[in-house]
Amino acid sequence: MTTEVDFYELLEIERTADDATIKSSYRKLAMKYHPDKNSGCKDSEAKFKAVSEAYDCLKDPQKRAAYDRFGHEAFRNGGGGGGGAQDFGGFSDIFENIFGEFMGGQRTAGRGSRRGADLRYDMEITLEDAFRGKSSEITVDVSAVCDTCDGSGATPGTTVKSCATCAGHGKVRAQQGFFVVERTCPACHGQGQVIADPCRACHGEGRVEKTKTLTVNIPPGVDEGTRVRLTGEGEAGARGAPSGDLYIFLHVARHTIFEREGTTLFARAPISFTTASLGGEITIPGADGELHAIKIPAGTQSGRELRQRGAGMPVLQGRGRGDLVVRIEVETPTKLSAKQKELLEQFRATENGDCNPQTTGFFHKVKSALG
């Protein structure tokens, strides 16, 4: 199992986005995460590299076409690890897969059999699931290998014969002047084999529709758009060809308390003006379920951010955790008793410029501006 983020989701664009939209989104994100603007922030540096890699791929029409069809596998020699993963020998193979039909038929694997299609499954998880990781079962309807014929497409006890027209190659050649034109064999339709007695269960396809229950292991620290690949759990290939992969796209549900940026969690915390003035302590529950005590310094203003180190999200496939940042909002009381009003009037009578330096400074500027 590998965890990868989709290039389109990295750039925050739709898969149908045009070149101008791709370029505009990349520029905005590159400026946001550029190392010069986020000195010493490893999360921003990693994000900058990721969006740059995504843009490098999607700005090129040929690379984008390959990515749209094969995903990250298009640029990884030797495939993605794990049994059943499709291997690609290089970029020339990618173009043969994409444009092969213009040159006489689609590229074949083995004896003309086509690899099964990759599938996508969208899964919503909670922030707590993303923090701890989880193992979850999903149910998918997918083409699977036919149990009756074991994927051969032929009735059990019968044999599959090599196509006499193309001698098992799946393609035929014809001389046209100085050129030799190669096209898909019309007799076996590129399979290279002919089934005299097709399996009744799958009608010679070697695969049937099934409902499968699969286990998805989600590691701690995943984020919105993280992709989990289940190798070989996509569509079964025709007549014994390799199966495709199943890609699980994760979507983290909105949380009632926290907002997330990378491994950092943000929370808004309203406090009373007395706590802001005199100082105190508040308790915030973390995504880990633990209670975190946040000390409020005396004289805290609205908008101040208090950071709790190591109380954020875990690093995906790494060590350590991010931070919890609490944004303070000082709440002005709206319903006061007679006693409270009396006390506040007494307090107002003792106020001077030293108590509220920002207020005093602002009105001093206003007075100067008015002459």
* Contact call for residues 208 and 146 (beta carbons, < 8 A): yes
Exposure string of 9-43, with b = 16+ CB inside 10 Å and e = fewer, is: bbbebeeebeeeebeebbeebeeebeeeeeeeeee
Neighbours of 160 (CB within 10 A): 21
Taking the C-alpha atoms of 44, 45, 47 and 52 in order, what is their torsion angle to the nearest 10 degrees?
A: 140
- Check whether 146 is labelled as a binding-site residue: yes
- Check whether 355 is labelled as a binding-site residue: no
| Burial of 123: CB neighbours in 10 Å, binned 0-12, 13-18, 19+ | middle
Neighbours of 199 (CB within 10 A): 22
Using CA atoms, how far apart are residues 157 and 159, in angstroms rounded to an integer? Answer: 7
DSSP H/E element including 344: helix 338-349
306 φ, ψ (degrees, to nearest 5):
-110, 125
Using CA atoms, how far apart are residues 231 and 3, in angstroms rounded to an integer? Answer: 12
Tell me the CB-side half-sphere exposure of residue 37, using CA atoms within 13 A. 10
Helices (H) and strands (E) in the chain, counts: 9, 16
Q: List the binding residues.
A: 146, 149, 163, 166, 185, 188, 199, 202
Binding-site residue numbers for Zn(2+) are 146, 149, 163, 166, 185, 188, 199, 202
